[in-house]
Amino acid sequence: MTLEARKIRLVMELRQQGITDKTVLSALERIPREVFVPENFHDQAYENTALPIGHGQTISQPSVVAYMTQALELGRRMKVLEVGTGCGYQAAVLSRLCRRVYTIERHRELMREAEKRFQKMRIGNIVTRWGDGAKGWPEQAPFDRIIVTAAAEEVPQALKEQLADGGLLIAPVGRNTFDQVLIRLRRNGDEFESEELWPVRFVPLVGGTADEG
């Protein structure tokens, strides 16, 4: 089966699993996931599974990317903050659905590799930063949407403060890998309305930047 045929099969599977937003499905179809995984995993690029990308990190399974993206309720003019660039796949998907994506990664090498992919794909509305994602990006706040792709015991206060009034924040929270749940926060002035979406398993959100020599 060709990669294109596998991609079509995956999109059909996502539809059956409840991804109904046509703009999200279209973005997933337009972004070649094989570009974001190591070459030896290309044949698994369109399987609905997480894959290793180095530095103890993974590319999330497509259904998780799709669910999180759909739950963000994105609009074309929105400014989005992503905490945890990883290989860049989630940011690339977001870039097709909003005005600008600001994405932070603590592993410098992962960030550099992601930047190369964005450049090769001629994606011009993603801005990257090597840094501590838990601190957000205060110079660019407020953000209409914030998506966190690593799990903490609770949502960092700095990120909540950088969310625009009326904005949405989606993040996995939990004490360990086995009790994580994805939550969605909606800001109303100084109040935050929280709802639990579904169980997930993400790598931990680690403060600071990685010491890679």
Interval 49-94: pLDDT, tens: 999 998 888 899 999 999 999 999 999 999 999 999 999 999 999 9
Residue 124 falls within a domain, yes or no? Answer: yes
Over residues 135-144, the pLDDT tens digits come to 999 999 999 9
Residue 138's domain is classified under what CATH number?
Answer: 3.40.50.150
To the nearest whole percent, how much of the chain has pLDDT over 90?
A: 79
How high is the mean pLDDT of the chain? 92
Q: How far apart are CA 41 and CA 43, in angstroms?
A: 5
Q: Which residues are catalytic?
A: 60
Q: How far apart are CA 13 and CA 18, in angstroms?
A: 9
Residue 191 falls within a domain, yes or no? Answer: yes
SS3 124: coil
Residue 39 falls within a domain, yes or no? Answer: no
Residue 13 falls within a domain, yes or no? Answer: no
Q: How far is CA 149 from CA 42, 46, 52, 145, 186, in A?
A: 22, 20, 15, 13, 17
- pLDDT reading at 177 higher than 90: no
Residue 8 falls within a domain, yes or no? Answer: no
* Comparison of pLDDT for 178 and 147, the residue scoring more: 147
Give the residue from 121, 130, 113 showing the smallest Cα distance to 95: 121
What value does the mean pLDDT take over residues 34-50? 93
Position 211 confidence tier, pLDDT thresholds 50, 70, 90: low
Residue 69 falls within a domain, yes or no? Answer: yes
Over residues 93-130, the pLDDT tens digits come to 999 999 999 999 999 999 999 999 999 999 999 999 99
Residue 149 falls within a domain, yes or no? Answer: yes
Residue 180 falls within a domain, yes or no? Answer: yes
Answer for the pair 102, 137: CB distance below 8 angstroms, yes or no.
yes
Q: Which domain holds residue 85?
A: 49-199
User: What is the count of structural domains for the chain?
Assistant: 1
